[in-house]
């Protein structure tokens, strides 16, 4: 694993890159994908033709059955295959929003999702996240303020389960409260549900989409974290009218479903019963990494606060008041460790005491070494 | 080949579907793609990781060399891998245009591209196409009118080579005139160059991008017609500042390059020297189909006018004044043949004497049978 121009991964040789929120290449299922792709191409020409606008039914029907096991079963008319959650969010921006529209986002939230929204020239209006997730009362307040100004937000973008960057999950009472607010305000909720299957303690909370009975929620799922990001395949479960508009839109009428070739390979991967054992393997691997990173923080940087996340990729660390994590970053890199400074997940410059560590890329031993290097950086910064 | 929910192809059993602008499934390179995909997955984990934002360099560098052979060599900073031309056009709408902006389009033009532009809530302003392609003087007139209204169009969308639906190519003098107009008006030209490699008579005219020395042209190329639409892989050659903005945008910062897994397979396909022989095979096959469709029209429907196209997929047929091709369609379908009525390629209801026939999907014999059925329909419509 090194620097290359084939993938997005560019690791600096002397640095433990705890900023990188990507799967460990050693955990990518190369052999199984090779078997699945060979089987798919032996079976016929279909992976090479324009894909069905909603995605291949073979993939959709397997996903529907899988979702039914832990949530509720979506009908095929409530589902669509996407080109991953980033592309799905991009499609939704075009469908639901116009430049200048307000969009509600969490503070903090996934930095590149914020950038996708900004690229569509949307006005980001923030709602705070605390240790129980997004604060519904604050959503209510913001909606009232916007209403008084005569505007209505295009949608709320939220990551309620194993949140990026904080790792927290929205509590069940808050989920219900948020859905009630969405229903009474006719607010679309875009639920980025990227980490649901990477659960290490207990089980994942029910998705907003599962709990929704007002057709407010568009839920985005993806194979990026549980299979392979390179396939660029995800799915959406959403109200019929959203699916209908996406299926009949110019983008899909012209080009068919996104990532069709890879979507067919993923369908074959699932049909070969390789998906569940692979997820189990990932959970076991990442769980050990999470535990070690959390323990190392407790052991080596006891003055920093963090919650051990129940799932996902990230530990969100709060440093004592005297540190600024943007200023600390070059010192940390000198000491051989990197992270993402907290400010990048906020729109307005706050978050400077926070940093995001990812435990997905490294072995437990390397994670402990990374924390040791962060300890060194903190000592050198000498606050 | 039949009706299915895996691909976009849904062929009605009793109908010769001359409306379908897709490659013949029998001409898709299944065996070669199987070998390429197996080799790619044996070589490493890279196809499964997030792809480089601009696309895998291995694909870009092979494309650059190939383009250099017949055009001019783009530097890697002037190129990006796309998810096919539809997705590329969608990305450009988000980058270059705001809802309500005017966009210049040809009349007629590719119907689903028009729909992508409409989905972005752009205002379509048409410029006529004649037997020499887009009329540059008309572009000048429209720009002047828009300027007087105080607006400037976001871009011109054009298909100058083997145009969809008319099959005509913009002449070289008009290419130069159009580029001069674009340069002096600071107008972005989005060149949809989808059919360049499918040339059957002589060689394709130089792309607008090749002739452009004012950094006005964004050229969209794709593997959809010359390899396989299911891979959803294309490329863009464009001024550096466009590439830089796309590479650094939220969509690619978050998800990496589109269709990465398939893009890596296409790179392997090219590296194995399978691409040029495959294109030669396609040219030979489609050339025979074009010739037969054109000859059958001359033989069987001499009162209809058409130009035999030098490349691409389509023959654009003009019927005598007494016919309306929207009204004729159900009669034609009863007679066992389908086409796309001309009106669908116009924004304002004209084109009702035209119809578009595609020769990509069927053998010469079937194409002649299709024209015979169209003859029957015309006789039944009895105008």
Which pLDDT tens digit goes with each residue over A271-324? 999 999 999 999 999 999 999 999 999 999 999 999 999 999 999 999 998 899
pLDDT confidence of residue B235? 98
> Chain A closest CA to B301's CA: distance in Å?
30
Chain B residues touching residue A260 (CB < 8 angstroms): 7, 229-232
Q: pLDDT tens digits for A100-158?
A: 899 999 999 999 999 999 999 999 999 999 999 999 999 999 999 999 999 999 999 99
> Rounded to whole angstroms, how far apart are CA atoms A280 and A289?
14
Q: Are B202 and B310 in contact (CB under 8 A)?
A: yes
pLDDT of residue A2: 39
Q: What are the angstrom distances between the C-alpha of A17 and each of A5, A340, B7, B248?
A: 17, 9, 41, 21
Distance from CA of B79 to the nearest CA of A (A): 14
CB contact under 8 A, B34 and A29: no
B109 inside 8 A of chain A by CB: no
Q: Is the pLDDT of residue A55 over 80?
A: yes
- Please judge whether A87 and B251 are an interchain contact, meaning their C-beta atoms are less than 8 angstroms apart: yes
What is the distance in angstroms between the Cα of B157 and the nearest Cα belonging to chain A?
Answer: 15
More confident residue, B100 or A219: A219
Which chain A residues touch B262 with a CB distance below 8 Å?
A: 259, 261-262
Q: How many CB atoms lie within 10 A of CB A63?
A: 23
Task: Round to whole Å and give the CA distance between B250 and A119.
Answer: 7
Tokens of B148: 């007087």
Torsions phi, psi for A106 (to 5 deg)? -75, 150
pLDDT confidence bin for B3, thresholds 50/70/90:
very low
Q: Which residue in B has a C-alpha nearest to residue A94's C-alpha?
A: B120
Q: Which of B114, B116, B257 sits opposite A251 (nearest CB)?
A: B116
- Residue A357 — very low, low, confident or very high, per pLDDT cuts 50/70/90? very high
A154 neighbors A122 (Cβ within 8 angstroms): yes
Is pLDDT at B28 greater than 80 in this prediction? yes
CB contact under 8 A, A256 and B229: yes
Q: Is the dihedral of CA A114, A115, A119, A125 positive or negative?
A: positive
A299 forms beta bridges with: none
Contact residues on chain B for A98, CB-CB shorter than 8 A: 99, 121
Each residue of B287-329: pLDDT tens digit? Answer: 999 999 999 999 999 999 999 999 999 999 999 988 999 999 9
**How far is residue A12's CA from residue A338's CA, in Å, rounded to a whole number?**
10
- Chosen for mutation from A49, A61, A220 (greatest number of chain B CBs closer than 10 Å) is A49
CA B2 to chain centre: 24
Inform me whether the C-beta atom of residue B264 falls under 8 Å from chain A C-beta atoms. Answer: yes
Chain B CB contacts of A44 under 8 Å are: 30
Distance, CA of A150 to CA of A170 (rounded, Å): 29
Task: Please compute the mean of the pLDDT values over residues B69-98 and round it to a whole number.
Answer: 97
pLDDT tens, position by position, A199-223: 999 999 999 999 999 999 999 999 9
Whether the predicted pLDDT of B2 surpasses 60? no
Q: Which residues does B228 contact at the CB level (< 8 Å), separation at least 6?
A: A48, A49, A261, B23, B28, B29, B33
Out of A53, A83, A110, closest to residue B258 by CB = A83
Counting residues of chain A whose pLDDT is more than 90, the rounded percentage is 96
Percent of chain B, pLDDT > 90? 96
Q: How many angstroms separate the CA atoms of B61 and B75, rounded?
A: 9
Task: Tell me the whole-structure pTM to 2 decimals.
Answer: 0.97
B1 pLDDT exceeds 80?
no
Q: What does each C-alpha distance from B127 to B86, B158, B218, B345 come to in angstroms?
A: 21, 10, 19, 13
CB B110 within 8 A of CB B164: yes
Q: In this predicted model, what pLDDT tens digit does every residue of B120-163 receive, in sequence order? A: 999 999 999 999 999 999 999 999 999 999 999 999 999 999 99
The answer to whether B244 contacts chain A (CB < 8 Å) is: no
Portion 72-101 of B in contact with A at CB < 8 A = 83-87, 90, 93-95, 98-99
Predicted local confidence at residue A231, as pLDDT: 98
The C-alpha angle A363, A367, A373, rounded to 5 degrees, equals 145
The nearest alpha carbon in chain B to A25 belongs to B45
CA atoms within 13 A on the CB side of B104: 29
Structure tokens at A143: 């909606």
Of B33, B116, B261, the CB nearest to A230: B261
* Residues found in chain A: 383
Give the pLDDT band (50/70/90) at residue B382: confident
Q: Who's near A173: CB < 8 A, 6+ residues apart? A: none
The ipTM of this complex is 0.96
In whole angstroms, what is the distance from residue B264 CA to residue B48 CA? 10
The whole-angstrom separation of Cα B310 and Cα B314 is 10
Report residue A1's pLDDT band, with 50, 70 and 90 as the boundaries.
Answer: very low
**Helix, strand or coil, per DSSP, at residue B80:** strand
Q: What are residue A22's phi and psi, to 5 degrees? A: -125, 160
Model confidence at B99, pLDDT cuts 50, 70, 90, reads: confident
What is the C-alpha to C-alpha distance for residues A327 and B49, in angstroms, rounded to an integer?
31
Closest-CA residue of chain A to B99: A98
CB within 8 A of A150, min separation 6: which ones? Answer: none
pLDDT averaged over every residue in chain B: 96
Q: What is the pLDDT of residues B224-242, one digit of tens each?
A: 999 999 999 999 999 999 9
Q: Using CB atoms, which residue from A48, A84, A262 is nearest to B30?
A: A48
Residue A42 contacts B where some CB pair is shorter than 8 Å: yes
Q: How many helices and strands (H and E) does chain A possess?
A: 13, 13
C-alpha–C-alpha distance, residues A95 and A126, integer Å:
21
Query: What pairing do the DSSP bridges indicate for beta strands A156-158 and A189-192?
Result: parallel
Query: What are φ and ψ of residue B145, in 5° steps?
Result: -60, -45
């Amino acid at each position: 694993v090194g620097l290359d121009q084939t993938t997005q991964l560019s690791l600096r040789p002397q640095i433990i890159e705890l900023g990188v929120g990507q799967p460990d290449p050693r955990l990518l299922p190369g052999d199984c994908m090779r078997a699945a792709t060979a089987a798919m191409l032996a079976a016929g020409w279909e992976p090479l033709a324009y894909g069905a606008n909603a995605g291949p039914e073979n993939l959709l029907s397997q996903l529907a059955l899988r979702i039914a096991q832990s949530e509720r079963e979506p009908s095929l008319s409530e589902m669509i295959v996407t080109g991953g959650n980033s592309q799905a969010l991009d499609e939704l921006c075009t469908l639901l929003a116009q430049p200048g529209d307000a969009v509600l986002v969490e503070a903090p939230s996934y930095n590149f999702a914020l950038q996708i929204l900004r690229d569509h020239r949307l006005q980001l209006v923030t709602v705070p996240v605390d240790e129980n997730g997004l604060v519904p009362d604050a959503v209510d307040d913001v909606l009232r303020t916007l209403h008084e100004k005569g505007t209505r937000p295009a949608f709320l973008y939220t990551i309620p389960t194993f949140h990026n960057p904080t790792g927290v999950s929205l509590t069940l009472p808050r989920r219900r409260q948020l859905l009630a607010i969405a229903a009474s305000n006719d607010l679309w909720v875009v639920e980025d549900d990227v980490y649901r299957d990477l659960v290490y303690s207990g089980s994942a909370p029910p998705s907003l989409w599962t709990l929704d009975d007002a057709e407010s929620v568009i839920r985005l799922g993806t194979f990026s974290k549980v299979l392979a990001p390179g396939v660029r395949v995800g799915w959406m479960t959403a109200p019929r009218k959203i699916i209908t508009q996406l299926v009949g839109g110019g983008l899909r009428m012209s080009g068919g479903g996104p990532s069709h070739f890879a979507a067919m390979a993923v369908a074959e991967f699932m049909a070969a019963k390789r998906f569940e054992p692979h997820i189990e393997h990932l959970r076991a691997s990442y769980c050990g990494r999470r535990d070690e990173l959390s323990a190392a923080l407790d052991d080596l940087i006891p003055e920093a606060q963090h919650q051990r996340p129940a799932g996902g990729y990230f530990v969100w660390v709060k440093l004592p008041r005297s540190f600024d994590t943007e200023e600390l970053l070059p010192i940390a890199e000198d000491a051989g460790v990197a992270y993402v400074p907290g400010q990048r997940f906020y729109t307005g410059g706050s978050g400077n005491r926070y940093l995001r560590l990812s435990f997905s890329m490294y072995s437990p031993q390397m994670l402990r070494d990374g924390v040791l290097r962060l300890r060194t950086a903190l000592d050198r910064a000498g606050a």
